[in-house]
Amino acid sequence: MLKGKTALVTGSTSGIGLGIARAFASVGADVALNGFGDPAGIEKLRSGIASEFEVKTVYIPADVSKPNETTAMVGRAEKELGHLDILVNNAGIQHVAKVQDFPPEKWEAIIAINLSSAFYATRAALPGMLKRDWGRIINIASTHGLVASAEKSAYVAAKHGVVGFTKAVALETARTGVTCNAICPGWVLTPLVQQQVDGRAKAGKTIEQAKLELLGEKTPSLEFVTPAQLGALAVFLCSEAAAQVRGAALTMDGGWTAQ
């Protein structure tokens, strides 16, 4: 379905980004990976996806908290893949603390990585997409782009910002072949969330109890969303059937935001 298309997924060395990169590759897209990790592990991921799905894969190291590295990353993806059709702004971090205790450097990092990087990457990728009159920009927001939780002020602010940014880009591109949408996942058991499970487990609970407690607070289904399910939604957004899905914030959250 995406044969001949190319995709750059930020933060795709782990978790949701990796699930989305794999989903694109599974339907024939060439993929640029980005994110942190040990070089040997990343090379194994890159070559594994290339051989499993018979697509071209490249790894582009860039710290997306830095605007110049983010802009250069998009340029490198265009050069190494020939052009760039699909951009997924996925890289993100979390920090949990009350506002009065929130370290300013954590606030700055969360805004830079979870919000501003989407602006810099989109700004760099749009001209090529508009020139070819086809493109898909998918921003991985969160249920926290729609509702809040205590002790996550920076994350909630950044993700609400991502949803707003998505709508503005969708309006600017509405009469073109480029669409921009956000995906709002609920709990996905990735390293980012495992950290929070481990934090709860330290207070004398088993890991299983901590997981159920985390799910029970927010998720009516009591089940995690998976990176593969989110990958399938991203693939749908890249299909022709989704050509008029514009400026949407699509939830996949086990019922979290239905409450």
Min separation Cβ 35 and ligand NAD, Å: 3
Cα–Cα distance for residue pair 228/237, rounded to 1 Å:
14
155 has catalytic annotation = yes
Structure tokens at 94: 């979390």
Residues ≥6 apart with Cβ < 8 Å to 40: none
Min separation Cβ 18 and ligand NAD, Å: 7
Nearer to ligand NAD, 3 or 211 (CB): 211
Nearer to ligand NAD, 36 or 174 (CB): 36
Min separation Cβ 236 and ligand NAD, Å: 17
Min separation Cβ 175 and ligand NAD, Å: 29
Q: Are 151 and 107 in contact (CB under 8 A)?
A: no
Q: Which residue out of 107, 155, 187, 224 is catalytically annotated? A: 155
Binding stretches for ligand NAD (CB under 6 A): 10-17, 34-37, 63-65, 90-93, 113-114, 140, 142, 185, 187-188, 190-193
Q: Is 50 exposed, middle or buried (0-12, 13-18, 19+ CB in 10 A)?
A: middle
Largest Cα–Cα distance of the chain, in whole Å? 57
Nearer to ligand NAD, 97 or 192 (CB): 192
Cα–Cα distance for residue pair 247/38, rounded to 1 Å:
36
Residues ≥6 apart with Cβ < 8 Å to 190: 14, 15, 16, 227
Nearer to ligand NAD, 26 or 142 (CB): 142
Phi, psi at residue 32, to the nearest 5°? -105, 125
- Residue 66: CB atoms within 10 A of its CB come to 16
Active site (catalytic) residues: 155
